[in-house]
Structure 1
Amino acid sequence: MKNFWPSPLGIDRGERVRFVAGAVVGVLVTALLGRWWAGHGVGGPWLVASLGASAVLVFGMPSSPLAQPWPVLGGSAVSALVGTACAALIPDPALAGAVAVGLAVALMVPLRCLHPPGGAMALYMVLTASDGLHLPGLSVLLNLLVLLAVAVVYNGLTGRRYPHPQRREQRADAQSGGFAASDVDAALAHYNQVLDISRADLEGLLHLAGRAAFQRTLGDIRCAQIMSTPPLAVAADASLKDAWALMRAQQIKALPVMDASMVVIGIVTVADFMRLANLDVHEGLGQRLKTLVLGRSGQPTTVGAIMSSPVQVAQVGQHAMDLVPLFSQGGHHHVPIVDGDHRLLGVITQSDLMRTLARALQVPGEAAAHTAAVAPPIPLAADRQKG
């Protein structure tokens, strides 16, 4: 029985006021002009009853595919024609009304103009014909055109885009949110039901939901929580031999470089050593690297001479997820973490961030069931600085 209980619409008071005022303005303007036209020779009723249902859509749900200009015009016109034809061909009004509504829907779907008030229009045409009345198409068209004109102006003035875009613009980073447009297409095909929401809005909502979930699970993690401490570092005047020996002994690939005040001034990596040893020429690379480290090659002998500077750093209180672009797009593999005075406090590597992501994205039930079997041991600081 709970499925019969209505769920809240999820709109605030301001949106409700906007919705109600729009419906009042739209129907009032259409009615006044319709009555004026009726007094100047335009035949038929000066206001069509199904216009009230159309007003609910164009002002209350201006982003709905059912409320766009083509469904409003095309759906109503097709339904009016179908209703007129059924009234003329089927003597029984009950049967004619049922057939008219069914045929109207059957035509609106392939014509991409599905509009619920169209069903009312088809039925209304049958009922008015059975009463000996005639509903000229001109009065219907004028009603709809005025309503749409008011909807365009009113929605625009109140911050609602109308007509509403039905597909999102494809951008180069279309898959950055975790799914692509083709994934949405596949989900819609599997759902196989009419959705009263535009494809653009659906895709946008999915992106917002994904971002909210990402922020909920990962957004509050700070660099201080995942950085390697105490950090391993070297002074700018340290010899290449000492720096290389420390990196090999600790099995790490980078060392922050500090001055006498513990302020980070650069970073030296394995890539810096390889570059000076002419990595492009593979023959004798080991010997050239050994010669470089021992200072026999005539090249720089201190860390400060080969380090990368300035170095990209992050603040200790900064969100850890702020480092994702640095690792994924900036080409960085190690980011020193500093305090407000730029003094070194720790290091975060790609491996640290990947471990954080993996733990945050684990399914809770699976994590609880398999923690003992699959959870890795907490690494030492030196191990965590690898990567």
Structure 2
Amino acid sequence: MHGSDLSRWRLIFTPAMPRPVWKDLVRATLGGFAGIAVCAVFAWGANLSDVFPVFLIAPLGASAFLVFAVPNSPLAQPWSAVAGNTLAAVCGVAAAKFLDPAFAPAVGVAMAFAAMMFGRALHPPGGAVALLIALDPGLLERTGAVEICLNAGIMTAVLVGAGLAYHKLSGRKYPLRAGLAQGTAVGFSRLGLSKEELTDLLARFNQSANLGAVDLGRLLAAAEDEAIHHRFGDRTCGDVMTEITTAFGAGDPFHEIVRVFQQTDELAVPVLKEDGSIAGMVWQREVFNQLARTKSTRLILPAASAGKLMRPPDALFNADAPVGDAVVHMLRHGVQQVLIERNGVLKGRLTRSDILELALLSGGARKAA
């Protein structure tokens, strides 16, 4: 066997996943214990009351792994888990009840696959649920068809409920759709892609069952952030910033503010404290909006000073911070500029024009090289 063949087989039979993070390992392990323990206590309590007997089934262990170890997977979401196991139980019962025992297991599992896919409730443990029921026709006689199906749904729902509580306490997002709004703000708008477009992209590469559109958006946005940092290298905000030549004091009157904006093309002017630190920003549009609402600047109250008109700055970065950090912030929050300070004293501003100029210069340097 050639060396290349050995290398290929070595790659096939080596772990495909990275080493686990200890925090995730401990969280998943404790979660699996808690989930099955809650189900066991629930079954014990339900059997004591003799209202509706429920019992643990082996596939709950696989469901627990998905819910507690990989809660972001589409296969682990509440609908997938509860509906998937319930549909699979119905298919297993139907196969065991109406088919020859020799064919029931294979047909039951196949039916479960089709039912879960049709119901958009893919949940791998569902295959085990159908197989478990089809392998033991006597289970129908001992328990009852309806009871078996209800047991699968109820116990899975209890497990999912335990997962919801556990992940809320441990700080992990579950279910996936609970983080949809945040994912949209951070990922989708950043990328210029809608949730539907990301979903289509997953379907094109047959990854819909492994990853949700929200997580894909987050991953792509994170990759974009890394690319931005690589793009600008070790340049700092102080290297790229434009020095500020115009600033207000908190007591500057309104007519002085109007004069400054009329004579410059500034969109916003900082308001500085006596020690040179930033107090806030006065925006051109707000000043002109006030002018538009009055017939004369004389109607503006004397109290309308820079200190009264200012708003907090959108962002303040240290001059030694990587310029990539500022670019990511500007893209993520849709701001036109950020302010740069050093040792608490305002030094300059970083605008989108500065970033564009840096990008063009960097591109030209790479081309010349």
TM-score w.r.t. length of structure 2: 0.62
What CA distance in whole angstroms lies between the structure 2 residues aligned with 1:77 and 1:108?
9
**Which residue among 42, 63, 71 is the counterpart of 1:33?**
42
The answer for the alignment partner of 2:296 in structure 1 is none
Summarize the Cα distance change of 1:79–1:128 in structure 2 as closer, same or farther, 3 Å threshold. same
Q: Which runs of 5+ in 2 are unaligned?
A: 1-8, 246-264, 267-275, 277-315
Deviation at 1:221, TM superposition (A): 1.3
Distance 2:223 2:138 in 1: 52
3-state SS, counterpart of residue 119 of structure 2: coil
Q: How much does 1:216 deviate? A: 3.1
Does the Cα contact within 8 Å between 1:166 and 1:201 map onto a contact in 2?
Answer: no
How far, CA to CA, are the matches of 1:81 and 1:339 in structure 2? Answer: 67
The reply on whether 1:14 has 2:23 as its aligned counterpart is yes
Structure 1 residue matching 2:208: 3-state secondary structure: coil
State the Cα distance separating 1:123 from its structure 2 match: 0.6
Query: Which position in structure 2 is the counterpart of 1:295?
Result: none
Matched, 1:68 2:80: no
Q: Secondary structure at the match of 1:165?
A: helix
Amino acid at match of 1:81: V
Out of 188-197 and 59-68, give the one that drifted further.
Answer: 188-197
Offset at 1:192? 2.7
**Is 1:220 the equivalent of 2:234?**
yes
Matches within 5 A, 1:107-126: 107-126=115-134
Return the offset for 1:54: 0.8
Shift of 1:205: 1.8
Q: Structure 2 residue aligned with 1:98, among 102, 106, 110?
A: 106
- The 2-side partners of 1:99 and 1:166 are apart by 36
Structure 1: give runs of 5+ residues left out of the alignment.
234-252, 255-262, 264-312, 376-387
Match of 2:204 among 190, 212, 215: 190
1:153 matches 2:165: yes
Alpha-carbon contact 1:222-1:316 (below 8 Å) kept: yes
Cα deviation, residue 317, structure 1? 4.8
Quote the RMSD (CA, aligned, Å).
4.3
Alignment of 1:127-206 (within 5 A): 127-129=135-137, 134-135=142-143, 136-137=147-148, 138-165=150-177, 168-169=180-181, 177-181=190-194, 183-206=197-220
Report % sequence identity.
29
Deviation at 1:20, TM superposition (A): 0.8
Shift of 1:148: 2.1
Q: CA deviation at 1:85?
A: 0.9
Alignment-derived partner of residue 86 in structure 2? 77
- Superposed, which structure 2 residues align to 1:268-347 within 5 Å? 317=320, 319-320=322-323, 322=326, 325=330, 330=336
Match for 1:150: what amino acid? A
Which of structures 1 and 2 has the bigger CA Rg? 1
SS of the counterpart of 2:176?
Answer: coil
Q: Distance in 1 between matches of 2:189 and 2:131?
A: 48
Is the 1:64–1:196 Cα contact (8 Å) retained in structure 2? yes
